[in-house]
Structure 1
Amino acid sequence: MTTEQPRARRPRRHFSMIRTFVLADFVTLGNGFAGTGAILSAMQYLATGRETWLWVAFALMPLALVMDFLDGRIARWRFKKSPLGADLDSLADVISFGMAPAALAFAVGMRGALDVAVLLYFVACGISRLARFNVTSAELSDGSGKVKYFEGTPIPTSLGLVLVLAVATWQGRIGESMWGGAWELGPLVLHPLVLLYAASGSAMISKTLRIPKI
């Protein structure tokens, strides 16, 4: 009596996850790479004091925006999107338009305890805004499947904050010379300029503010 031999297990292919990526996913990763590069450049500025690194960070931010704009267009143009596409996009956006602007604010001088609390609030708002969009996008879409409007401002609007920091850097108004100076509230320090981050974060999580999607 013969017994059936167990079937050989099919060997897993190397880089099997990467093989599932489509072109749009690699563009999305480019967005995340640009944002990460901006964060590392801000850290390099803090380590060396060389302002050139700040300008590298500022230059990478528009590149992240271009990548964020292109990935959806490429997916629609090629009629291809992967199951990971939406999550990849949100994670890249958190890095590029949440963490990177906060890191730049810290690098240019917003390092007081209250500054850090505001920056943490800003990043938390960005994460929450993207999570809410992923959950509610089906409800907000029209018959064609496209989202008609955003609830709250899209997270890439944080590039407006980066532009403010770039202008301040160009005018030499960072660090000890920061616009608005610093408020000392007992042992705590707050730079009024950081309140722009509080306003931006609050606008992201607004339920009543509706922005038409172009």
Structure 2
Amino acid sequence: MKKRKLFIGYYHYGVILTYISVAAAITGICFSVGGNRERCPWVGVICLLISGVCDAFDGAVARTRKNRTREDQMFGERIDSLSDLIAFGVAPAMIGFGMKINRWFFIPVYAVFVLCALIRLAYFDVTEEIRTEDPNCGKRKYYEGLPVTAVAFGVPIFYLIATMFPEFSVARTAVMLFGYLLIAVLFVCPFKLPKPSIKGIVVIMAVLAVILAVLLTVHLKVLS
């Protein structure tokens, strides 16, 4: 007899990084938009970096679980894509909005960015499911189009460049909007991008650590 669950879903360590990624993304959105208090898009960028690190390792952590059922595996795959849309689609768009690049005619740029992320994720899910129907398919060696996780690398760089210019300046706005549009186009361009090796992942983590250090140094100095 199948054991009755207290809640639907899965709550083991194999999905914990995905849940942390979503929690970080929501935190980043709240700090970026601000509401009745001062907006802190730089906190949103830090949360984006956290989501990026979680996404880099969530698959590896999930695969360490033994005796995974097909249902368990499919749940992990689906929730990973849903969390990626929030963390690397919606949350990054709110960073730009929180930088006061929020006039009504900028909204289509954010909409295109999120839509391209959505299309990229859905297309990857479909092609991956078809590919893995072949029992001899092996591991994927290439990505088609820019993976949405790359946002955790790209948007912070554009943010650091943009904040070199005065608030409300044309240059500051142009840098961020160019970054969003460039990344959006790369999401849906049909080019092949090799999957990073272990060394490549280490380099990416090192760059993210440098970006985090710069953000903390600059903004904590301002706050003090």
- Which TM-score bucket, shorter chain as reference? 0.7 to 0.9
| Structure 2 equivalent of residue 57 of structure 1 | 44
| Structure 1 equivalent of residue 112 of structure 2 | 121
Q: SS state of the match for residue 47, structure 1?
A: coil
With over 3 angstroms needed to count, the CA separation of the structure-2 counterparts of 1:75 and 1:195, relative to structure 1, is same
- Which of 139, 142, 149 pairs up with 1:149? 142
CA RMSD of aligned residues (A): 2.5
Structure 2 alignment gaps of length 5 or more: 197-224
Identical positions, percent: 28
| Structure 2 equivalent of residue 165 of structure 1 | 159
| Structure 2 equivalent of residue 72 of structure 1 | 59
| Deviations, residues 48-94 of structure 1 (Å, cap 9, x unaligned) | 235xx333222111111111111101122234453310111011111
User: C-alpha distance in 1, partners of 2:82/2:166?
Assistant: 29
Q: SS state of the match for residue 176, structure 1?
A: coil
| Deviations, residues 148-168 of structure 1 (Å, cap 9, x unaligned) | 211100011122123321443
Q: SS state of the match for residue 199, structure 1?
A: helix
User: C-alpha distance in 1, partners of 2:172/2:87?
Assistant: 26
Matched, 1:47 2:55: no
Matched, 1:27 2:17: yes
- 1:140 CA displacement: 4.8
Opposite residue 203 of structure 1, the aligned amino acid is L
Large movers: runs of 4+ above 6 Å: none
User: C-alpha distance in 1, partners of 2:169/2:125?
Assistant: 41
Q: SS state of the match for residue 179, structure 1?
A: helix
| Structure 2 equivalent of residue 6 of structure 1 | none
| Structure 1 equivalent of residue 202 of structure 2 | none
User: C-alpha distance in 1, partners of 2:169/2:158?
Assistant: 15
| Structure 1 equivalent of residue 215 of structure 2 | none
TM-score, with length taken from structure 1: 0.77
| Structure 2 equivalent of residue 99 of structure 1 | 90
TM-score, with length taken from structure 2: 0.74
- Which of 157, 162, 167 pairs up with 1:175? 167
Alignment check: 8 A CA contact 1:25 1:82 kept: no
- 1:22 CA displacement: 3.1
Matched, 1:213 2:184: no
Q: SS state of the match for residue 117, structure 2?
A: helix
| Structure 2 equivalent of residue 197 of structure 1 | 180
- 1:41 CA displacement: 0.8
